Copies of this chain bind each other. A is one copy, B any other.
Amino acid sequence: MSKAVVLLSGGLDSAATAAIARSEGFGLYALSFDYGQRHLRELDSAKAVAQSLGAKDHLIIHFDLRGMGGSALTDEIEVPLDRPDNDISSVVPITYVPARNTIFLSFALGYAETIGAFDIFIGVSQVDYSGYPDCRMEFIDAFEDMANLATKAGVEGTGRFRIRTPLLELSKADAVRRGLDLGLDYSLTWSCYLGESRPCGRCDSCKLRLAAFAEAGEADPLDYL
Protein backbone atom coordinates (compact mmCIF):
# COMPACT_ATOMS: atom_id res chain seq x y z
CA MET A 1 0.00 0.00 0.00
CA SER A 2 1.45 3.38 -1.01
CA LYS A 3 1.84 5.88 1.78
CA ALA A 4 0.52 9.44 1.70
CA VAL A 5 1.05 12.28 4.13
CA VAL A 6 -2.21 14.15 4.67
CA LEU A 7 -2.33 17.57 6.30
CA LEU A 8 -5.24 17.32 8.68
CA SER A 9 -6.51 20.39 10.50
CA GLY A 10 -9.75 18.91 11.76
CA GLY A 11 -11.79 21.16 9.46
CA LEU A 12 -14.10 20.25 6.58
CA ASP A 13 -11.64 20.52 3.74
CA SER A 14 -8.76 18.53 5.15
CA ALA A 15 -11.18 15.80 6.31
CA ALA A 16 -12.64 15.52 2.80
CA THR A 17 -9.10 15.48 1.39
CA ALA A 18 -8.11 12.66 3.72
CA ALA A 19 -11.21 10.68 2.73
CA ILE A 20 -10.29 11.14 -0.94
CA ALA A 21 -6.70 10.01 -0.31
CA ARG A 22 -8.01 6.89 1.39
CA SER A 23 -10.44 6.23 -1.47
CA GLU A 24 -7.42 6.26 -3.83
CA GLY A 25 -5.94 3.39 -1.82
CA PHE A 26 -3.27 5.23 0.14
CA GLY A 27 -2.22 4.35 3.67
CA LEU A 28 -2.75 7.63 5.51
CA TYR A 29 -0.09 9.33 7.63
CA ALA A 30 -1.91 12.29 9.11
CA LEU A 31 0.00 15.41 10.10
CA SER A 32 -1.44 18.14 12.32
CA PHE A 33 0.00 21.19 14.05
CA ASP A 34 -0.39 22.76 17.41
CA TYR A 35 0.89 26.25 16.61
CA GLY A 36 -0.72 28.37 19.26
CA GLN A 37 -3.97 28.69 17.36
CA ARG A 38 -6.96 29.83 19.40
CA HIS A 39 -9.11 27.03 18.12
CA LEU A 40 -7.00 24.24 19.56
CA ARG A 41 -10.16 22.20 19.77
CA GLU A 42 -9.71 21.43 16.08
CA LEU A 43 -6.84 19.10 17.05
CA ASP A 44 -9.28 16.82 18.86
CA SER A 45 -11.30 16.80 15.67
CA ALA A 46 -8.19 15.98 13.65
CA LYS A 47 -7.54 12.99 15.91
CA ALA A 48 -11.13 11.78 15.58
CA VAL A 49 -11.07 12.14 11.79
CA ALA A 50 -7.71 10.34 11.50
CA GLN A 51 -9.01 7.48 13.60
CA SER A 52 -12.30 7.24 11.69
CA LEU A 53 -10.35 6.94 8.41
CA GLY A 54 -8.02 4.26 9.75
CA ALA A 55 -4.85 6.39 9.53
CA LYS A 56 -1.65 4.36 9.98
CA ASP A 57 -0.14 7.13 12.07
CA HIS A 58 -0.95 10.66 13.18
CA LEU A 59 1.91 13.02 13.97
CA ILE A 60 1.18 16.28 15.78
CA ILE A 61 3.99 18.83 15.60
CA HIS A 62 4.06 21.60 18.16
CA PHE A 63 5.48 24.99 17.36
CA ASP A 64 4.79 28.50 18.40
CA LEU A 65 4.07 31.32 15.98
CA ARG A 66 2.91 33.69 18.70
CA GLY A 67 6.37 35.23 19.10
CA MET A 68 6.10 36.09 15.44
CA GLY A 69 2.80 37.95 15.56
CA GLY A 70 0.85 38.94 12.47
CA SER A 71 -2.42 37.03 12.75
CA ALA A 72 -5.67 37.08 14.66
CA LEU A 73 -5.52 33.29 14.89
CA THR A 74 -2.43 33.30 17.07
CA ASP A 75 -2.39 36.82 18.54
CA GLU A 76 -4.60 38.68 20.91
CA ILE A 77 -6.26 40.52 18.01
CA GLU A 78 -10.03 40.05 18.11
CA VAL A 79 -11.50 37.57 15.62
CA PRO A 80 -14.08 39.49 13.54
CA LEU A 81 -17.68 38.27 13.80
CA ASP A 82 -20.62 38.83 11.48
CA ARG A 83 -18.52 40.22 8.61
CA PRO A 84 -20.42 40.89 5.39
CA ASP A 85 -19.96 38.04 2.88
CA ASN A 86 -18.30 40.48 0.53
CA ASP A 87 -15.44 41.11 2.97
CA ILE A 88 -15.04 37.41 3.64
CA SER A 89 -14.44 36.62 0.00
CA SER A 90 -12.38 39.57 -1.19
CA VAL A 91 -9.93 40.74 1.47
CA VAL A 92 -6.83 38.93 2.75
CA PRO A 93 -8.27 38.15 6.16
CA ILE A 94 -6.58 39.19 9.38
CA THR A 95 -6.75 35.50 10.28
CA TYR A 96 -4.08 34.99 7.59
CA VAL A 97 -1.07 33.34 9.24
CA PRO A 98 2.15 34.38 7.48
CA ALA A 99 3.56 31.54 5.40
CA ARG A 100 1.36 29.00 7.15
CA ASN A 101 0.82 26.55 4.28
CA THR A 102 4.51 26.87 3.37
CA ILE A 103 5.46 25.88 6.90
CA PHE A 104 2.89 23.06 6.99
CA LEU A 105 3.98 21.66 3.63
CA SER A 106 7.65 21.86 4.64
CA PHE A 107 7.02 19.69 7.66
CA ALA A 108 4.91 17.38 5.50
CA LEU A 109 7.84 17.08 3.10
CA GLY A 110 10.18 16.14 5.95
CA TYR A 111 7.66 13.60 7.22
CA ALA A 112 7.12 12.17 3.73
CA GLU A 113 10.84 11.79 3.15
CA THR A 114 11.24 10.07 6.51
CA ILE A 115 8.51 7.47 5.95
CA GLY A 116 9.17 7.01 2.23
CA ALA A 117 5.99 8.68 0.95
CA PHE A 118 5.90 10.79 -2.21
CA ASP A 119 2.29 11.97 -2.12
CA ILE A 120 1.36 14.89 0.12
CA PHE A 121 -2.31 15.82 0.32
CA ILE A 122 -3.49 19.29 1.27
CA GLY A 123 -7.09 20.53 1.22
CA VAL A 124 -6.65 23.91 -0.44
CA SER A 125 -9.17 25.28 -2.91
CA GLN A 126 -8.63 28.21 -5.19
CA VAL A 127 -12.38 28.49 -5.70
CA ASP A 128 -12.80 29.53 -2.09
CA TYR A 129 -9.44 31.26 -2.25
CA SER A 130 -10.68 34.13 -0.01
CA GLY A 131 -7.47 36.05 -0.36
CA TYR A 132 -5.05 33.43 0.93
CA PRO A 133 -2.13 33.49 -1.55
CA ASP A 134 -0.91 30.06 -0.46
CA CYS A 135 -4.08 28.31 -1.64
CA ARG A 136 -3.45 28.91 -5.32
CA MET A 137 -2.30 26.46 -7.98
CA GLU A 138 0.82 28.48 -8.85
CA PHE A 139 1.94 28.35 -5.24
CA ILE A 140 1.38 24.60 -5.04
CA ASP A 141 3.29 24.02 -8.29
CA ALA A 142 6.19 26.16 -7.08
CA PHE A 143 6.28 24.30 -3.79
CA GLU A 144 6.35 20.95 -5.60
CA ASP A 145 9.27 22.05 -7.78
CA MET A 146 11.15 23.26 -4.72
CA ALA A 147 10.39 20.04 -2.81
CA ASN A 148 12.04 17.92 -5.48
CA LEU A 149 15.24 19.96 -5.22
CA ALA A 150 15.22 20.07 -1.42
CA THR A 151 15.39 16.40 -0.62
CA LYS A 152 17.71 13.45 -0.72
CA ALA A 153 14.99 11.38 -2.42
CA GLY A 154 14.47 14.08 -5.05
CA VAL A 155 18.18 14.47 -5.73
CA GLU A 156 18.96 10.76 -5.76
CA GLY A 157 16.00 10.16 -8.08
CA THR A 158 14.26 7.69 -5.78
CA GLY A 159 10.96 9.31 -6.66
CA ARG A 160 9.16 12.57 -7.33
CA PHE A 161 7.18 14.33 -4.62
CA ARG A 162 3.69 15.35 -5.61
CA ILE A 163 1.57 17.89 -3.78
CA ARG A 164 -1.95 16.55 -4.21
CA THR A 165 -4.83 19.03 -4.07
CA PRO A 166 -8.05 17.16 -4.87
CA LEU A 167 -10.20 20.11 -3.75
CA LEU A 168 -8.35 22.73 -5.78
CA GLU A 169 -11.14 23.26 -8.31
CA LEU A 170 -14.04 22.40 -6.00
CA SER A 171 -16.29 24.82 -4.18
CA LYS A 172 -16.64 24.21 -0.47
CA ALA A 173 -20.14 22.86 -1.14
CA ASP A 174 -18.76 20.36 -3.67
CA ALA A 175 -16.08 19.34 -1.18
CA VAL A 176 -18.81 18.68 1.42
CA ARG A 177 -20.71 16.53 -1.08
CA ARG A 178 -17.57 14.62 -2.05
CA GLY A 179 -16.89 13.85 1.61
CA LEU A 180 -20.46 12.68 2.19
CA ASP A 181 -20.26 10.43 -0.89
CA LEU A 182 -17.21 8.81 0.70
CA GLY A 183 -19.02 8.28 4.00
CA LEU A 184 -17.16 10.97 5.92
CA ASP A 185 -18.68 11.79 9.30
CA TYR A 186 -18.68 15.60 9.47
CA SER A 187 -19.83 15.58 13.08
CA LEU A 188 -16.18 14.80 13.87
CA THR A 189 -14.90 18.00 12.19
CA TRP A 190 -14.47 21.51 13.56
CA SER A 191 -14.28 24.91 11.88
CA CYS A 192 -15.04 27.68 14.39
CA TYR A 193 -12.15 30.09 14.97
CA LEU A 194 -13.17 30.70 18.57
CA GLY A 195 -12.73 27.13 19.75
CA GLU A 196 -15.40 27.20 22.47
CA SER A 197 -17.42 24.11 23.35
CA ARG A 198 -19.93 24.84 20.59
CA PRO A 199 -19.29 26.64 17.28
CA CYS A 200 -20.27 30.33 17.24
CA GLY A 201 -21.84 30.43 13.78
CA ARG A 202 -20.66 34.03 13.37
CA CYS A 203 -16.92 33.98 12.56
CA ASP A 204 -15.80 33.81 8.92
CA SER A 205 -15.02 30.13 9.21
CA CYS A 206 -18.43 29.19 10.64
CA LYS A 207 -20.18 31.34 8.04
CA LEU A 208 -18.28 29.70 5.16
CA ARG A 209 -19.02 26.26 6.59
CA LEU A 210 -22.73 26.93 7.05
CA ALA A 211 -22.97 28.40 3.55
CA ALA A 212 -21.25 25.31 2.12
CA PHE A 213 -23.68 22.90 3.80
CA ALA A 214 -26.63 25.08 2.74
CA GLU A 215 -25.41 25.18 -0.86
CA ALA A 216 -24.84 21.42 -0.81
CA GLY A 217 -28.41 20.98 0.45
CA GLU A 218 -27.17 19.04 3.45
CA ALA A 219 -27.52 19.57 7.19
CA ASP A 220 -24.40 20.45 9.17
CA PRO A 221 -24.37 17.88 12.03
CA LEU A 222 -22.75 20.36 14.45
CA ASP A 223 -24.78 22.03 17.17
CA TYR A 224 -24.27 25.81 16.90
CA LEU A 225 -24.60 28.36 19.71
* Interface of A: prevailing SS: helix
Query: When each residue 123-147 of chain A gets 1 if its CB lies under 8 Å from chain B and 0 otherwise, what string results?
Result: 0000000000110101100110111
Instruction: Tell yes or no: A111 within 8 A of B by CB.
Output: yes
| A219 CB within 8 Å of chain B | no
CB of A133 within 8 A of CB of B114, answer no
* Contact (Cβ within 8 A) B59 A68: yes
Contact residue among B109, B133, B145 (Cβ-Cβ distance under 8 Å from A150) = B133
Question: Which residues of A from 43 to 94 have beta carbons under 8 Å from B?
Answer: 59-65, 67-70, 92
So how many copies of this chain end up in the complex?
2
A69 CB contacts on chain B under 8 angstroms: 114
CA distance A67 to B101 in the complex (A): 20
Residues of B within 8 A of A96 (CB): 152
Query: Which residues of chain B come closer than 8 Å to A109, judged between CB atoms?
Result: 98-99, 102
| Contact pick for A152, options B133, B147, B149, CB 8 Å | B133
Instruction: Report which A residues bind B (CB closer than 8 A).
Output: 59-65, 67-70, 92, 96-103, 105-107, 109-111, 113-114, 133-134, 136, 138-139, 142-143, 145-147, 149-152, 154-156
A170 to B123, CA, bound (A): 41
Min CB gap A124→B, angstroms: 12
* Between-chain CB contacts (< 8 Å), 20 pairs: A61-B67, A68-B114, A69-B114, A70-B114, A92-B156, A98-B110, A98-B111, A98-B151, A98-B152, A99-B107, A99-B150, A99-B151, A100-B110, A103-B106, A133-B151, A134-B150, A142-B142, A142-B146, A145-B146, A146-B146
A133 to B139, CA, bound (A): 21
Set B59, B92, B110, B146: member contacting A103, Cβ < 8 A? B110
The answer to whether A133 and B154 have CB atoms under 8 Å apart is: yes
Identity of the chain B residue whose Cβ is nearest the Cβ of A69 in the assembled complex? B114
Cβ-defined contact, B98 with A113, below 8 A:
yes
Q: A142-B142, A155-B133 are in contact. Are A68 and B150 (CB under 8 A)?
A: no
